[in-house]
Structure 1
Amino acid sequence: MFAHISKWFQGDVALIQAANPLLVLSVILITGYIFNRLARKLHIPTVTCQILGGVVLGPYVLNLFVQNAYTSFVPITNFALGFIGLTIGSHLDFRKLHNAGRRIAFITLADAIITPVVVFFSLQLFTNVSLEASLLISAIAITTAPSSTLHIVREKRAKGIFTKTLLAVVALNNVITIVVFYTVYYFIYYITSTSHVGIVAIIIKPLLLLVESIIIGSVVGYAVIYFTEKRKTRVSFLVMVMMAVIITVGTAETLHLSGILSSLILGMVISNFSKNKNTLFGAFKDIETEVYTLFFVLAGTHLDFAAIKIAGSIGFVLILSRLFGKTVGSTLGAWLAGSTDTIKKWIGIALYPIAGVAIGLVLLIENNELLSIYSSEITSVVLTAVVVNELLGPILTGKALQKSGEVDKNRLRLMDFIQEEFIKVDMQSDNKWDALAELTEFMYKTHKCHEISLEKLKNSFIEREKQVSTGIGNNLAIPHAIIEGGPKIRCVIGISKKGIKFDAVDDKPVHIIFLIATPKEHYDRQHLQVLSNIAKIFGQHPHIKKQMLKANTPEEVFEILQTEEVEELNPFFED
């Protein structure tokens, strides 16, 4: 025994050679808890500290367990990746993204085009990596780690346009990564195995993989909706969602598809078509800390620092070229989309993390007989990027969220409806009745008012407006109505540059409209405070009205309404 401990001190063997999986699990959770507390004290992202905790457990520091002791947790890791895919997919809510599509598409496409091009030519110009390996590495370089990004967003309690854009871009980024990688994968596979290139097969196979993942995620997603809405099963929502993720990942992995991509589709289906989506996604809150802890500490135990030595300068060429490509690509996309300065400046560094998807694609290359000849070049280089970016990437993502001003904004506040998706900047109506109809339809669509019909909602506003005009002067109108049912106060903001005849108290045309629907049970001091504070915003700060009328996109209006003057009149309920 003493001889064994002596060898352990010298770093020759692991301390525990045959550990029970439950012991390993308990040590992982305790390590995660300790490093979680350490992260708070050091004011660094929890994910970075938990990965460091895994490094401490692993072969380079304490070397507590043999490396294969962690392999029994592969199903848990796959489940965690599925859970992360589900959560990322939940942010692809078309209702919330309906007026952000241009921005998200331009940033995603620019990143997906420029990053691999920069990485490929850098590897070809500055290293001796083969053409085939360079193509595969360049495809892998597109991905941004959804796990690290999501964890940082949750930890920072971030909410706003930047956060919404980041999560949507990361989701689409990983879809594109998988499609591009498989296109390159099959291209190299065919030129290696045959004398001719099957162009149709190269194009069709990646698309078929995407379609199959969509089918799996959609079928399971609609099954969840059916059992929670039609059959109203008594199974708890937590169990239902866990079953959905397990079935989705298990089916996808069995068919050699991407579990995280199928889970992403599952999350997207639930987010867009389930009436119980908030309850379903909220069900995971009780266990998400443990899931993240297991995932990131385990990731730390697998980090191979020897890869940095093997890869040498090639690994750092990948890191620097990818960093440059991500920064230039996403910034260019934001510029082409006419995004705000905040997004242009900070979206690039928020996309640096790289981890799970990249490792999965590397393993795919290693397991292919024909492509495994390139794995010696690829594995060490990609793992070098993973090691560096998993430790530094979350810090940079956290920095970007901090600079965007959206940290600690994911809390309930008085006017929680001030969000990009509820803003309409191109109103076409000429009179108040048409304006009420136009904005009511916009509210019904964006807020998904299931508890009331569109006709009843319109009539509520019309009846209230007939009593007395809600055009309060200063080019502002606040039409409001009390409705039956509904979870909270709802509001949409409409802007008309030409002005609308609204019978306002000062007879001036209305340019800005806040249309508010309040459920009866919320008609109390909160309703009156909302009306009062909206009037104060424009009465005390006339420059805000001028800025809003100059804005061309909902994104710009949202940025204007995040200024300090508005923030003071839109308090958080926790404060």
Structure 2
Amino acid sequence: MNSLYYVSIVIFSGMLCAKLLSKIKLPNVTGYLIAGVIIGPYVLNVVPLDAVKSLGILSDAALGFIAYGIGSEFSIKSIKKTGKTVILITIFEALGAVFLVDLAMIFIFKQPLPFSLTIGAIAAATAPAATILVIRQYKAKGDFTTTLLQVVAMDDAVGIIAFGISLAVAQSLIGGVATSLAMSIMKPIIEILLSIIIGIILGIIFSYIGKKVRGENELLSLTLAFIFFAIGISLKFNASTLLTCMMLGATITNLSSNSSRFLSIADRFTPPLFIAFFTIAGLELNISVIKSVGVIGLGYMVFRVAGKMLGVYVAASITKAEENVRKYLGLALIPQAGVAIGLSLLAEKSLPPEYGQPIRTIVLAGTVIYELIGPLASKYALIKAGDIK
């Protein structure tokens, strides 16, 4: 079967499952993920594993559009209003997860230090996509939502840097693994800076050209071309697609007087793309790995969430943020997917098998759980915060 056949199956299945589950008030994204699990290679095998790999371009495109939308929340006006709070919350929630998982692995589960440091660093990563779709579906608006969007946007940058440092330390502790501590720390920082520079340059060019475009169809075509180019050039130079497209959106927001037109035009293209993205994410969830992670895997899942919630609470208390942010923002940071899986793959390649393979298995199992319960937790947090009416 060709790829377009599987694309049609993916979109139709996602739509159908989301429609059925909406009867019991579940978010659409949960329906898409469950549809993917059911038709995927690990259950019914309607879409086999080799076909899943061929659909990766859709996932890359969707993630780019999601990041582009997140970037639009970073106007200078909103940053001035929430900047200190957002930065502190992001650092505390990410490092809260890192330290709590580290401590649990070392002192409760008696795991070796290299294993503990590496899996603890992966705990920092949060997947923004599921939370963004919940916000869009229920048209959530308010200070809580704005803060949440900005935190999930910055989270991966903190997580990538923390992982680079932790992996370098883990490798030096193991010994016999050829590595430069300085280069291991600098590599993620260079990746982040490169992503930011590419995004800003493309945003400046887009803002200039966009002023000269009048027709809606031409503007849509221009927007798609720039987002696809941002994704493509990021992949070519091993930069972060998420950060590049986020900076593209942020630059447009702050440079163009007509930014709302540029940013909203992309929404005409994204609904089927987002359905495909989350259904494909479901295809990749192998639920059988859950039973193989044992008590250590369960500990990782629990202490990661606890660390994020504790980090949010402490940072929000220090900055005197709203009570809703203090109490509920951590719940909306549960999802974990693409970045964490990528980091676990890097850990598997960089560490001896006795460390790398269990890390990969635990992170994959965590992804299954987090992606299924995360949207529900995000919806609950947004309702309790009063941003979903």
Normalised to the residue count of structure 1, the TM-score between the two structures is 0.64
Say whether 1:172 aligns with 2:154: yes
**Structure 1 pair 363/240, CA: closer, same or farther in 2 (3 Å)?**
farther
CA distance in 2, matches of 1:239, 1:187: 46
**Bigger Rg over Cα:** 1
Query: Contact 1:227/1:233 (CA < 8 Å) preserved in 2?
Result: no
Q: Provide Cα deviations, 1:460-503, integer angstroms capped at 9, x if missing partner.
A: xxxxxxxxxxxxxxxxxxxxxxxxxxxxxxxxxxxxxxxxxxxx
Query: Which residue of the partner structure matches residue 281 of structure 2?
Result: 299
* Aligned with residue 198 of structure 2, among 195, 204, 216: 216
Say whether 1:402 aligns with 2:379: no
The structure whose residues are more often helix, as a share, is 2
Say whether 1:289 aligns with 2:271: yes
- The amino acid across from 2:368 in the alignment is V
Query: Contact 1:191/1:197 (CA < 8 Å) preserved in 2?
Result: no
Query: Which residue of the partner structure matches residue 80 of structure 1?
Result: 62
Query: Which residue of the partner structure matches residue 106 of structure 1?
Result: 88
Query: Which residue of the partner structure matches residue 357 of structure 1?
Result: 339
CA distance in 1, matches of 2:127, 2:263: 20
Query: Contact 2:121/2:162 (CA < 8 Å) preserved in 1?
Result: yes
In the comparison of the two structures, how many residue pairs are matched?
Answer: 388
* Aligned with residue 222 of structure 2, among 228, 235, 240: 240
Say whether 1:392 aligns with 2:373: yes
Look up the SS of the partner of 1:236 in the other structure.
helix
Structure 1 unpaired stretches of 5+: 1-18, 409-575
Say whether 1:333 aligns with 2:315: yes
Query: Which residue of the partner structure matches residue 15 of structure 2?
Result: 33
Look up the SS of the partner of 1:98 in the other structure.
helix
Query: Contact 2:33/2:281 (CA < 8 Å) preserved in 1?
Result: yes
Say whether 1:375 aligns with 2:361: no
Q: Percent identity?
A: 31
The structure whose residues are more often strand, as a share, is 1
**CA shift for structure 1 position 275:** 2.3
Q: Provide Cα deviations, 1:357-376, integer angstroms capped at 9, x if missing partner.
A: 2122223334x355666331
CA distance in 1, matches of 2:179, 2:278: 40
**CA shift for structure 1 position 325:** 0.6
CA distance in 1, matches of 2:39, 2:352: 33
Query: Which residue of the partner structure matches residue 268 of structure 1?
Result: 250
**Structure 1 pair 307/261, CA: closer, same or farther in 2 (3 Å)?**
same
| Counterpart mapping for 1:472-487 below 5 A | none
CA distance in 1, matches of 2:10, 2:207: 35
Query: Contact 2:199/2:246 (CA < 8 Å) preserved in 1?
Result: yes
**CA shift for structure 1 position 21:** 1.2
Query: Contact 1:119/1:322 (CA < 8 Å) preserved in 2?
Result: yes
Query: Which residue of the partner structure matches residue 205 of structure 1?
Result: 187
Say whether 1:323 aligns with 2:305: yes
Query: Which residue of the partner structure matches residue 51 of structure 2?
Result: 69
**CA shift for structure 1 position 406:** 1.1
- The amino acid across from 2:265 in the alignment is A
Query: Which residue of the partner structure matches residue 143 of structure 2?
Result: 161
CA distance in 2, matches of 1:370, 1:331: 34
CA distance in 1, matches of 2:317, 2:197: 35
Normalised to the residue count of structure 2, the TM-score between the two structures is 0.93
CA distance in 1, matches of 2:373, 2:209: 43
**Structure 1 pair 67/152, CA: closer, same or farther in 2 (3 Å)?**
same
* Aligned with residue 53 of structure 1, among 21, 35, 44: 35
- The amino acid across from 2:360 in the alignment is T
**CA shift for structure 1 position 199:** 4.6
Over aligned residue pairs, what C-alpha RMSD do you find? 2.1
Higher relative contact order (CA 8 A, sep 6+): 2
- The amino acid across from 2:206 in the alignment is V
Query: Contact 2:287/2:368 (CA < 8 Å) preserved in 1?
Result: yes
Q: Which segment is superposed worse, 217-226 or 151-160?
A: 217-226
CA distance in 2, matches of 1:116, 1:99: 28
Look up the SS of the partner of 2:238 in the other structure.
coil
Q: Provide Cα deviations, 1:80-104, integer angstroms capped at 9, x if missing partner.
A: 1111111112112221231212221
Structure 2 unpaired stretches of 5+: none
**Structure 1 pair 199/66, CA: closer, same or farther in 2 (3 Å)?**
closer
Q: Provide Cα deviations, 1:428-485, integer angstroms capped at 9, x if missing partner.
A: xxxxxxxxxxxxxxxxxxxxxxxxxxxxxxxxxxxxxxxxxxxxxxxxxxxxxxxxxx
Query: Which residue of the partner structure matches residue 6 of structure 2?
Result: 24
Say whether 1:138 aligns with 2:120: yes
CA distance in 1, matches of 2:382, 2:279: 23
CA distance in 2, matches of 1:360, 1:237: 34
CA distance in 1, matches of 2:331, 2:67: 21
Query: Contact 1:334/1:344 (CA < 8 Å) preserved in 2?
Result: yes
Look up the SS of the partner of 1:256 in the other structure.
coil
**Structure 1 pair 64/161, CA: closer, same or farther in 2 (3 Å)?**
same
Query: Which residue of the partner structure matches residue 95 of structure 1?
Result: 77
